[in-house]
Structure 1
Amino acid sequence: ARGADRMSSYGDFVALSDVCDVQTAKMLAREVSDGVIAPGYTEEALTVLKGKRKGTYNIIKIDEKYKPELLEHKQVFGITFEQERNEAKITADLLQNRPTVNKEIPEGAARDLLISLIVLKYTQSNSVCYVKDGQAIGIGAGQQSRVHCTRLAGGKADIWWLRQNPKVLALPFKDSIRRPDRDNTIDVYISDDYEDVLADGVWENFFTEKPEPLTREEKKAWVAQLKDVALGSDAFFPFGDNIERAHRSGVQYIAQAGGSIRDDNVIETCDKYGIAMAFTGLRLFHH
């Protein structure tokens, strides 16, 4: 979550599907998060997690028998809104309707599309999610239009990919730099404000020697190498401009609800770039 949405203002919580073992606990111990929820914990894992954040780390055990009410209620200025909980099942069956010329979605890409839809099920609408190699790399949520979601998530995906650039991986950080400070420094280094960390009298605070900047041309060339990205949308794409933006961040597989009056334009834009797209017929648009 931190990698996909590093500037999020809400607390970071880890949710696990299986019992938390000591290896997972040790990984969580060094990552930034406010708590974890899981079906259970081994004794070794609990010992590790209880030492995080000076003992204030939230450790919650799931009650697997709990079943929430199907109907949700929300009050806004005296008005009560009701909607059924989103209990949609995210399965491979959602990817069977493929209206594009390219209908080939490899197993790994299908997995990534399903991951994107699972993320979207629990994300504020409007929302779009980019996934690569089994992890979310960019999430655009709660925006006023779908293309804004696509641009926001695409920008985060580009940043994730820029962080894999050899120049970034080789940055000569001082051993004393803490991981959060290292992450923030990298974010500035790959931005247009790189001088904020490379200026004389400043770079000495972070590096053992002054790094060369990552130029705009180098960044553009590196982002162009991003490929095999999967993208999910919690409702239909109304225009082909979403596909144009997604293509610039290496998207080659898409899962979206379909049903727009301009589906033909969206399909045509996908065909232009050889993108394989599935119409899921499922809106994950909940508030």
Structure 2
Amino acid sequence: MITLSRGMNPHETGFAEPVTVSDPPFELLSGVPSYINVLDALLARDLADRLERQTGEAACATSKHTSPAGVALGTPLAPGAEEFHDRGPLPADPVGRAVLRARSTTPKYAFADFVAVSRPVTGDVDPSLFANAVGVIAPDYAPGVADRLRRFNDGTFIVLRGPAPATPPVRREVQEAYGLRLTREIPGGTEFAGGLHTVCGDLHDPDSLAVAVLAVAQAQSNSMVFAVDGQTIGIGMGQQHRLDCTRLAAHRALVWQRRHHPDLLSLRFADHVDAAQRALWRARVAEGDLTPSVRDQLAGVLRDPGRAAHEPDWARTPPLTGVTLAADNHFPFVEVVELAARAGVTQLVTPRGSTDAGALREACVRHGISWIVTGERFFRH
């Protein structure tokens, strides 16, 4: 049994113990995780493992507050990505590339996130890729790597080791709440149960489809996920209405693309501002809603403080296209298709069962969007 640093809140106590004592799900190498840290680690590991099994590529998933923060494959990055990521030479190792791409989804969430990778962390992976995270879980670590990682966060960085367990034919989850025990039984491999069926168009980016579908299946419902080139760029989750999570995810995808704007890439920061802070500031500007006090803070970290008052011409943002959008459930709103088209979506993935499938299909054809349906829906609460 592991004594946790806290329950969900600091005033609560928490413990973690394996269901099967002889087969614990991970080995704690350093740090003292909290209740939420453990949930984030296991959720992210499951997602990264499923993604590698689906695609055959090294994968990374990061989780924060029990929903995915960023998900990516370790495929090569596009030319010019060095300038966008602002971290010097790009990683050559697939695990390093996956971590870099996943944690670049939203710089705000690349702080105190829990990082999971689907393959061992070798000595070729730059430890700084995990900086500002709260912890990492991996199948294994090359000699000396775990020691270098545990030095982060003043020695409190959490390092967990252990491969994801084999997916059983049926997985059982049990929760006790308010005097009631709730149980659900989950068939293994439900994300692609029954295969994928094309309503219109064609499936043209299987890697981004896998990233988006597996991420949306792990996000708190209602949820929508935008992905491109094998990585997430916008995740909207936990909303009571499907249009709200669509707008939230679309806005985050827009911010991701605005970070490529030449005015943002040309910002020059003071020497004391590290790469993570530079990425965060560019994302804050890309959101387009800086208050006066935040603009003052921005001026304080720029070499040319006058640039803080400059609002970029967002019409010069490089266009975004080839995006995949996945939903955790079917939806009856043509408006979702229209919002998706604005965000450069060319591939839509939903569970089957939309009540107005004819109108949705017509909208997809009109906007040049392929529509693919899966055999299962992916609610998670």
User: What are the equivalent positions in structure 2 for 1:105-144 lying under 5 Å apart?
Assistant: 105-106=203-204, 109-144=205-240
CA RMSD of aligned residues (A): 2.6
Which digits, 9 at most, give the CA deviation of each residue in 1:26-63, with x for residues without a partner?
2434x321111111110132232122222211110115
Q: 1:222 to 1:195 in 2, by over 3 A?
A: farther
User: What are the equivalent positions in structure 2 for 1:46-195 lying under 5 Å apart?
Assistant: 46-62=146-162, 64-65=164-165, 70-85=171-186, 87-90=188-191, 94-95=195-196, 97-100=197-200, 103-106=201-204, 109-190=205-286, 191-193=288-290
**How far off its partner does 1:24 sit?**
2.6
CA distance in 2: counterparts of 1:198 and 1:286, whole angstroms: 38
Contact 1:92 1:114 in 2 (8 A): no
Matched, 1:205 2:303: no
Which digits, 9 at most, give the CA deviation of each residue in 1:55-102, with x for residues without a partner?
21111011555778822112232222221236325459733x1112xx
Among candidates 12, 17, 37, match of residue 113 of structure 2: 12
Contact 2:236 2:246 in 1 (8 A): yes
**How far off its partner does 1:258 sit?**
1.9
**How far off its partner does 1:105 sit?**
2.7
- Name the amino acid aligned to 1:83: R
Among candidates 360, 370, 377, match of residue 276 of structure 1: 370
Report the 3-state secondary structure (helix = DSSP H, G, I; strand = E; otherwise coil) of the residue aligned with 1:99: strand
Partner of 1:239: 333
**How far off its partner does 1:181 sit?**
3.4
Matched, 1:222 2:317: yes
Contact 2:328 2:379 in 1 (8 A): yes
- Structure holding more strand per residue: 2
Contact 1:236 1:258 in 2 (8 A): yes
CA distance in 2: counterparts of 1:67 and 1:270, whole angstroms: 35
Higher relative contact order (CA 8 A, sep 6+): 1
Q: Which runs of 5+ in 1 are unaligned?
A: none
TM-score (norm 2): 0.66
TM-score (norm 1): 0.86
Q: 1:8 to 1:239 in 2, by over 3 A?
A: same
Which digits, 9 at most, give the CA deviation of each residue in 1:264-283, with x for residues without a partner?
12111111101011011221
Contact 2:198 2:373 in 1 (8 A): yes
Partner of 2:345: 251
Q: Which runs of 5+ in 2 are unaligned?
A: 1-69, 71-102
CA distance in 2: counterparts of 1:163 and 1:77, whole angstroms: 45
